[in-house]
Amino acid sequence: MLTNLTPVLTKEKIAHIVAELARDISNDYQGRQLVLIGVLKGAFIFLSDLVRHLTIPVEIDFVRASSYAEQSCSSGQVMLTKPVEIDIEGKNVLIVEDIIDTGLTIVSLIEYLKALKPAGIKVCVFIDKHERRKVLFDADYVGYSTDRGFLVGYGLDYAEKYRHLPGIFEVEPTASEDMP
């Protein structure tokens, strides 16, 4: 069992970051039709906090992209297990993601969404993690940047655990554990 969690972001710090992102998004999309697409499961808390700070009307949908199964290292395979259900043709899309690591998930999601002919696609990510990036990708809105570390809490899981934590923590493996 994992026991060592090092604090990275408090819930107060997270609330501040989310409010700032929402202010920027509200300003940028003023008077335009915006669809937020949350990436399940990890982004469910971030998206629900973000929308409550927006001052513009939005539509909300979710996709589910699965690349990690029950492990913490990327297989490189991205499966779309829940498609978009609202019509995004001609609308501005903002993908809301918990974390970008290798970048493989977000790049394949963008390819999928492009085929549905939105007016434009941008990406809002809570955590941009650089060290393991495999494709060139820069998000349009970034909450917090870091180089490395396996993070949990605020929607992020390690083998489906810790999503409920209000803060973000780095998981530190104990001697017997196999980490990415």
What are the residues binding ligand IMP (CB under 6 A)? 42, 67-68, 74, 97-106, 129, 150-152, 156-157
Q: Does 155 bind Mg ion (CB under 5 A)?
A: no
Q: Does 42 bind Mg ion (CB under 5 A)?
A: yes
Q: Rounded CA gap, 146 and 128, in Å?
A: 6
Nearest residue to 68 via CA among 60, 79, 81: 79
Q: Does 153 bind Mg ion (CB under 5 A)?
A: no
Q: Which stretch binds Mg ion (CB under 5 A): 39-47, 113-121, 133-141, 170-178?
A: 39-47
Q: Of the two residues 23 and 64, which places its CB atom closer to Mg ion in the complex?
A: 64
Lay out the sheet containing 92-100: strands in order across.
79-82, 58-66, 34-40, 92-100, 120-129, 141-146
Q: Does 101 bind Mg ion (CB under 5 A)?
A: no
107 to each of 29, 42, 128, 163, 165, how far by Cα in Å?
A: 22, 17, 14, 24, 28
* CB neighbourhood size of 15 (10 A): 14
Q: Please say if 28 is a catalytic residue.
A: no
Set 28, 49, 98, 101: catalytic member: 101
Q: Report what 14 binds from Mg ion, ligand IMP, none; CB cut-off 5-8 Å by kind.
A: none
Q: Report what 128 binds from ligand IMP, Mg ion, none; CB cut-off 5-8 Å by kind.
A: none
**What does the DSSP 8-state code read for residue 158?**
B
Q: Rounded CA gap, 90 and 73, in Å?
A: 36
- Smallest distance, Å, CB 77 to ligand IMP? 10
User: Annotated active-site positions, please?
Assistant: 101
Binding footprint of Mg ion on the chain (CB under 5 A)? 39, 42, 98
